[in-house]
Amino acid sequence: MSSIVSEIKDFLAHGRTSDALSRLLELSQSNKQIHDSILMVLAEFNDLNAARLRGTIHNEEATLRQNKINEKVLMALDSFDSQGRVLPGSVVMKKTEPVSMLGRLSVTFGGLTLLTLIGQFFWVKLGYGGWTDLYAIPLFIGFLIFIAYLLALVISAFKK
């Protein structure tokens, strides 16, 4: 009997991604995180097939997306041994939190806001003129991003 890993690789080699994902879903029942990751890949695969059926995707884009899906399936295989058992401590495809991205944006715009205010302060000290309306734009954007970041933190805290 061939190993589960080689069976799934064989499915991929013959263009049977759906069978490979179905098999992985069966094998990952004992690990919710891996199972959820595979479900996300399956949803991505189903979206790709729907776009193909509607004719709303070019062949090059479809091939690129299919290759990315196959790569994710191969990454998921690293979480299983040759008999199809989930390896202890396996983690597949960590999702990036939107809070993390919002945090980076908040820090970036906060820094730009601070630099603008410091620059404006020295501009006035050097005698080049008074406060202009330009400082309000990054200040307003920075404030909005900061509020959105705080809101995202509160929402993510309630989800946990």
The domain spans of the chain are 4-77, 98-159
Question: 14-23, pLDDT tens digit by residue?
Answer: 999 999 999 9
Model's pTM, two decimal places? Answer: 0.54
CA 40 to chain centre: 11
Q: Beta-strand (E) ranges in 6-118?
A: none
Calpha distance 136→134 (Å, rounded)? 5
Match 């190993």 to its residue by tokens.
3
Q: Beta-strand (E) ranges in 94-154?
A: none
Question: 74-108, pLDDT tens digit by residue?
Answer: 988 888 877 777 777 665 544 445 556 666 766 77
- Reference 78, options 28, 145, 115, 113; nearest CA is 28
User: Are the C-beta atoms of residues 21 and 73 closer than 8 Å to each other?
Assistant: yes
